């Protein structure tokens, strides 16, 4: 199946797209402080009808967190912060942009771009102290007895189950890649999951992380898509796009009232 043309939705701050057996929603502008696990339910970068999403079970277990569709940041290796709300949320065509602050002195600018079976995330992080970051792709079901095929290394991780394939690729650097066997019963759809992740140190100052991720039903088409890794976008072009065409996402106007 050829991926459908992305559909931008300016009011919820989403870009929707059909892929094989799946509907993917890139998201910026949604947030909810009042609901339990509001960050996981509303503030992930991407949601999926086929793969659902995971809810973290322990805010003091940074190294065991799934972070599917999220970027987790830690300054002590134990506790962590993710996007909970947005200072800015804009959309320009089918590109989403957000500014969020995991701590009061740390700022993250995030662009989300659909790329066929893949999507690309660009994060520009400005921090006064060193951090560690873990970013996750899609969570897929995990088989018993270690029957799944895992590929890990520098800059790329792939999880292959009997039914699905999920990958994550570092387009802008050399973060270490792994496939996490997430804690049981953290995903909405299946009890046990695999989540490809990129992990690395983020020095004090300004750093840019560029990530690409897909998840597809297993088969020849998925393997072909894995060979078509998107190119890293030009940051200057993304900045100009938002500056010239960006409009505020309606959802953030509603969120600001509460």
pLDDT attached to residue 29: 87
What is the C-alpha to C-alpha distance for residues 194 and 66, in angstroms, rounded to an integer?
9
Mean pLDDT of the chain: 95
The pLDDT confidence band at residue 30, using thresholds 50, 70 and 90, is confident
Instruction: Flag whether pLDDT at 185 surpasses 90.
Output: yes
Q: Would you call 239 helix, strand, or coil by DSSP?
A: helix
The pLDDT confidence band at residue 256, using thresholds 50, 70 and 90, is low
pLDDT attached to residue 254: 63
pLDDT attached to residue 37: 83
Q: How many angstroms separate the Cα of 139 from the Cα of each of 12, 115, 164, 195, 256?
A: 24, 19, 10, 5, 31
The pLDDT confidence band at residue 251, using thresholds 50, 70 and 90, is confident
pLDDT attached to residue 255: 57
Interval 193-247: pLDDT, tens:
999 999 999 999 999 999 999 999 999 999 999 999 999 999 999 999 999 999 9
What is the C-alpha to C-alpha distance for residues 93 and 241, in angstroms, rounded to an integer?
9
* Residue whose C-alpha is closest to residue 161's, from 115, 120, 196, 117: 196
Instruction: Flag whether pLDDT at 33 surpasses 80.
Output: no
pLDDT attached to residue 230: 97
Phi/psi of residue 85, nearest 5 degrees: -150, 170
Instruction: Flag whether pLDDT at 57 surpasses 80.
Output: yes
Instruction: Flag whether pLDDT at 66 surpasses 70.
Output: yes
Instruction: Flag whether pLDDT at 51 surpasses 80.
Output: yes
What is the C-alpha to C-alpha distance for residues 176 and 111, in angstroms, rounded to an integer?
22
What is the C-alpha to C-alpha distance for residues 139 and 145, in angstroms, rounded to an integer?
18
What is the C-alpha to C-alpha distance for residues 89 and 97, in angstroms, rounded to an integer?
6
String of b and e for 174-204 (b: at least 16 CB within 10 Å)? Answer: ebbbbbbbbbeebbeebebbbbbbbbbebee
Domains belonging to the chain, first-starting first, are: 7-255 (2.70.98)
Beta strands (DSSP E) in 128-175 are 131-136, 140-141, 149-151, 153-154, 156-160, 164-170
Give 54-61 contacts, CB < 8 A, sequence gap 24+: 54/139, 54/182, 54/186, 54/187, 54/188, 54/193, 54/195, 55/186, 55/187, 55/188, 56/186, 57/183, 57/185, 57/186, 58/183, 61/183
pLDDT attached to residue 24: 97
Angle, CA 222 vertex, CA 219 and CA 223 arms, to 5° = 90
**pTM across the whole model:** 0.96
Contact between 198 and 177 (Cβ < 8 Å): yes
């Amino acid at each position: 199946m050829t991926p459908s043309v992305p559909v931008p939705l300016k009011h919820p701050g989403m870009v929707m797209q059909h892929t094989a057996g799946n509907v993917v929603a890139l998201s910026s502008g949604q947030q909810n402080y009042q609901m339990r696990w509001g960050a996981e339910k509303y503030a992930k970068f991407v949601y999926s009808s086929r793969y659902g999403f995971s809810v973290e079970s322990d805010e003091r277990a940074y190294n065991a967190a799934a972070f599917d569709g999220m970027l987790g940041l830690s300054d002590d290796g134990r506790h962590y912060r993710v996007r909970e709300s947005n200072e800015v949320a804009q959309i320009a065509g089918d590109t989403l942009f957000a500014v969020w602050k995991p701590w009061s002195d740390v700022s993250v600018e995030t662009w989300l771009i659909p790329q066929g079976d893949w999507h690309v995330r660009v994060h520009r992080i400005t921090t006064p102290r060193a951090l560690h970051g873990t970013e996750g792709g899609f969570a897929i079901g995990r088989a018993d007895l270690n029957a799944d095929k895992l590929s890990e290394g520098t800059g790329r991780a792939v999880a292959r189950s009997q039914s699905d394939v999920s990958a994550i690729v570092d387009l802008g650097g050399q973060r270490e890649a792994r496939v996490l066997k997430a804690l049981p019963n953290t995903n909405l759809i299946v009890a046990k999951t695999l989540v490809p992740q990129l992990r690395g140190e983020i020095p004090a100052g300004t750093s840019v992380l560029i990530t690409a991720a897909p998840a597809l039903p297993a088969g020849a088409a998925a393997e072909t898509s894995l060979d078509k890794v998107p190119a890293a976008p030009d940051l200057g072009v993304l900045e100009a796009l938002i500056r010239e065409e960006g409009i505020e996402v309606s959802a953030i106007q509603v969120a600001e009232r509460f």
